[in-house]
Chains A and B, each alone.
Chain A
Amino acid sequence: MTTAVQLERIAPVARPGGRARSALWTGALVAYLVGTGVLAHSSSYEQGLLLVAAVYSILALSLDLVAGATGLYSLGHAGLFALGAYGTTILSTHYGWNIFLALPVTVLAVGLVGVVIGALSLRVSGLYFAITTLIFTIIVNVLISDLNITGGYTGLASPPFPNFPHALSFLGSSLAWAVCGALLITVTLLWSIRSSALYPALLAIRDSEPFASSVGVRTSVTRVVIFSLSAALAGLAGWTFSFLGFITPGQFDSTAAVNILVMVILGGMNTRTGPIFGAVFISLFPTVVSMNPLWQEILFGSIFLFVIVFFPEGFVGLLARGGRWLRTKWRPQRGRARPLTEGTPKVTEGTLNANGWGPARKGAGGAKVDVTVQGQTDGATPAPLLPRVALEARGITFSYVKGVKALDNVDFVVERGSIHGLIGPNGSGKSTLVNLLSGELSPQQGTISINGERIEHRPAWQRPGLGLMRTFQTAGMVKELTTRDNVGLGLFSQFRFIEARSVIWPMLPSARRDSRRMAAVASTSLSAVGLGEPWSASRLADVPHGIEQLTQLAAACASQPSILVLDEPLAGLSAGEVDEVATIARRLKADGVTIIVVEHQTRFIFEVCDAVTVLAAGELVKAGSAAEVRADDRVREVYLGL
């Protein structure tokens, strides 16, 4: 316990491949610009085709941000696209605005509309969100078909796009540069987000909102902002589209709305390049393939059917499968281990003991007066004087349905540095109490405080900042991420401005460093629960249940909380794994962490816990030391059934 290992020694350096990687990206950028230059000099027919494909790529990418990563299947993007296109054209031709002034205005305005639609996603989800947003598109479509200012069914002619000044005229078509520039901006933004620490958080919002907010992600705000960003990009697509020819309501109808989603799914949802492939295919196919239009439609539909039936992950899924096959064939397994030498994660203010976790970050760490901490780790930063009680809930009353009290005037007091068991028969209100402590629910009466600070009406995402982390009875984490990435998500609250930095993440040295720190701390935390190399790189979808539970524990512990709430951590674990959890709990306690365990396995509770609170039918039966509770007659009666 006392061998302190400085985290510096295990944090990784800048990746050795970093330079090669940035050279690669620079090369790709140069190639893209050269390609744009070539396009800008090509025939207007070719430009017309490819620029439309580029615009739809922007649109499909923007939709994939909300549909693929955040799980909001929007059919409103055709409407947002229409607002961008019509807004630009009307501002420019009707009100005589300069188009470069119209650009920020339309993008912002469409982004604001996105805020409203995004706020809808807090009320309706899944298919109903798709339907509601489809109605938005239909309403926009009806408006642009019926209003005079939009030119009705005939639509509007595009405003002129200014040519380059003479000095730059060698660049060719200015419009081609503008459209390709917009695509470049979109790709940069979205790929940055995909490589940022926000991306796992988005997936968590999509797959398991309680987990996301338990690690400190502001799920509602993030959703709305992400949707707004996506809407703004759709507005940008609309701005560029307005210069490519006549705009008519038919380009923005419900079919178009579905088509954008089809581009994303067909190309490969939640992938970097999939939406681009899908957009290019769908926008070019009707022009490039020239045959009887009806036969062409039949071929078009058959390709939809064929690709999705045989490659449900779309074009990119097909490519990836091919790629994986090639790799396993040609390149034998190569270790991923890298020398780890530099960089101090912010999360450890003191030291890290041999097992991976240092003293609790907030409170509890130092050897202070009556704090019951055994096996002090050395070198800990002395914590400020903290009350002996770490968490206190008084007079908690909560009902899900009016008149039926799930908890009735319950007191729950947890001493600092102790392991506190919370037991009771099924339906006694344990999980409700845990959800109140973690902020999933808010009590109708009573107070909850951490370190003397009242928190009962604070949202769940603020808990990690207060040093409280929790696990869930049924682990809901992001299946498609590795266990390490899931654990890294547990550190979300430890890094500042992740949301704001995400849009240019790979370009920020600080962000790259944070990513590496996250990965390093996550690996350490995983090895602290006994999950080493083979597991840390496995996708969560591929690991057995016990490993998933331990991963969850590692995620909760990674940020070194001062209070850890474990909701049935033993559910579905093997005997060996139960012993492991017991060891981990004792070790955490030795590090000064206060632990609250909800559990049915009484053997575990009475062996590990210092104090135990017993609930039955929403009421407090007994609270006291493990021995007292065990000896109590009422407890035997209600809980042990004796």
Chain B
Amino acid sequence: MLQVVLTGLSTGAIYGLVGMGFAVVFYVTRVINFATGQLLMAAIMVTAALSAGHWPVVVAVAAGLLTSTLGGVVIYFLAVRPVLRFNRLSFAWLVSTLGVAIILESAAALIWGTSSLSFPQLLNGRDVNIFGAALTWEQIITIVIALGTVVAFEVVHRRTLFGKLGTAISSDPEMAAALGANVTLHAVMAFAVGGLLAGIAGVLVGPISFANPYLGETYGIYGFIALMIGGIERPAASMGGGFVLGILATLASTYINPQAADWFPFVVVLAVLLVTPNGIFVSGGALRRRFDALRRKPVAASGSAV
């Protein structure tokens, strides 16, 4: 069981990172960047290509992360900004970011071919034993990095003016701009961070997945689901959603059958959305309210007794 949970956590961490990549962008700009998965793929491909060209692994990884980060920024200026300027509330960004996703995927296939390339092993594949559960160092590092990302994000989000301005922009861009927030800068940063998170996820998953132009779609979908489970209004919640998704998928494939990993998470997501449409980890969600109500009851009772 612990094995399942830990394996699930490490898979979920990847989904959660991609989910956060979606969420950070959505949080500030109210746009879902459908090319997020393709940014993950771009990071993997660039890293793989450079290391195949005998560059040091560190340089290859850095280049991969840089590619996805800059890719995010380019997407903002090319596909999102013009559309938002026309109508901030339309869904037109769906088409334009999807267009970018198609272009990225096909371009990668043109450049590197459609078959998988090898990805540099960052560490030796030795197992570590944790209370009887065996994990590779990569899996452990993945979980640690994911948690570190959440903490870093929350610190910036809550403790810095920049992060708080992000909150202001997400609720009312015009008002935030009137108060002096640089909306464009925030949007650019959001797309850059979104790309970076997808890139980190890519570099972490690369050793298992290898490098393939079509990886973007798979991880894009799972990241998106993590986002839905966690709740779209709080980027850090996506990581929780990713963990839930990873554990559920691992549980399903271990205890039901290997194919169950394909559909079981969706059933759970549907149930989650029916009960608490805004995600599990969002404050004020239906589950959270019910939970709070349960906790509050005894207090109220004792209060009335006094």
Structural contact, A298 and B102, CB atoms closer than 8 A = yes
Residues of chain A within 8 A (CB-CB) of B228 are: 131, 135
Residues in A neighbouring B98, C-beta threshold 8 A: 258, 262, 301, 304
Chain B residue, CB-CB nearest to A127: B232
Residue of B94, B109, B232 near A261 (CB, 8 A) is: B94
Assembly CA distance A307 to B32 (angstroms): 19
Contact residue range for chain A? 35 or more
Interface residues of A in 66-105 (CB under 8 A from B): 67, 73
A294–B263 touching, CB < 8 Å: no
Contact check: which of B93, B263, B273 meets A131 at CB < 8 Å?
Answer: B273
Given A139-B267, A139-B270, A142-B263, check contact A265 B94 (CB 8 Å).
Answer: yes
Interchain CB contact under 8 A, B83 and A254: no
Once the chains are docked, how many angstroms separate the CA of A131 from the CA of B32?
11
CA–CA, A56 to B87, complex, Å? 27
Are B95 and A297 touching (Cβ within 8 A)?
no
- A149 on the interface (CB 8 Å rule)? no
Indicate whether B299 reaches chain A with its CB closer than 8 angstroms. no
Chain B neighbourhood of A266, CB < 8 A: 95
Chain B binding site: helix, strand, loop or mixed by DSSP?
A: helix
0/1 interface trace, chain A 244-284, chain B, CB 8 Å (1 if under): 00000000001100100110011001000000000000000
In the complex, which residues of chain A have a beta carbon less than 8 angstroms from the beta carbon of B91?
67, 73, 261, 265, 269
Taking a contact as CB atoms under 8 Å apart, the answer to whether B95 and A262 are in contact is: yes
Tell me the chain B residues, 71-92 only, with Cβ under 8 Å from chain A: 78-79, 82-83, 86-87, 90-92
Please tell me if the beta carbons of A303 and B99 are within 8 angstroms of each other in the complex.
yes
A265 contacts B92, C-beta separation under 8 Å = yes
How many Cβ-Cβ contacts under 8 Å join chain A to chain B? 114
- Which B residues are in CB contact (< 8 Å) with A297? 102-103, 105-106
| CB-based contact A301/B102 at 8 Å | yes
Q: Are A298's CB and B107's CB within 8 A?
A: yes
Closest residue of B by beta carbon distance from A301:
B102
Partner of A294, one of B94, B106, B267: B106
Interface membership of A138, Cβ < 8 A: yes
A305 within 8 Å of B by Cβ? yes
Q: Does B266 contact A (CB under 8 A)?
A: yes
For window 254-284 of B, CB contacts with A under 8 Å fall at 259, 262-263, 266-267, 269-270, 273-274, 277-278
* B273 touching A294, Cβ below 8 Å: no
- Contact of B170 with A by CB under 8 A: no
The verdict on B221 contacting chain A, using a C-beta distance below 8 Å, is yes
Interface members, chain B 188-246 (any A CB < 8 Å): 217, 221, 228, 232
Residue interface bits A32-68, CB-to-B below 8 A is 1, else 0: 0000000000000000000000000000000000010
Q: How far is the CB of A152 from chain B (nearest CB, A)?
A: 11
Q: Is B50 close to A, CB under 8 A? A: no
- Supposing A132-B273, A139-B266 touch, asked if A308 and B102 sit within 8 A by C-beta, the answer is no
Near B by CB (< 8 A), chain A positions 296-320 give 297-298, 300-305, 307-310, 312
Q: List 16 A-B contacts (CB under 8 A).
A: A123-B274, A131-B273, A132-B273, A139-B263, A258-B94, A265-B94, A269-B90, A298-B110, A300-B102, A302-B103, A304-B95, A307-B95, A308-B79, A308-B92, A309-B96, A312-B90
**12 other contacts beyond A128-B232, A135-B269, with CB at 8 A cut-off?**
A67-B91, A128-B278, A132-B274, A135-B270, A139-B270, A142-B263, A262-B95, A265-B91, A301-B98, A304-B98, A304-B102, A308-B93
Nearest 8 A/B pairs, CB to CB: A304-B99, A301-B102, A297-B106, A142-B263, A305-B99, A301-B103, A124-B277, A312-B86
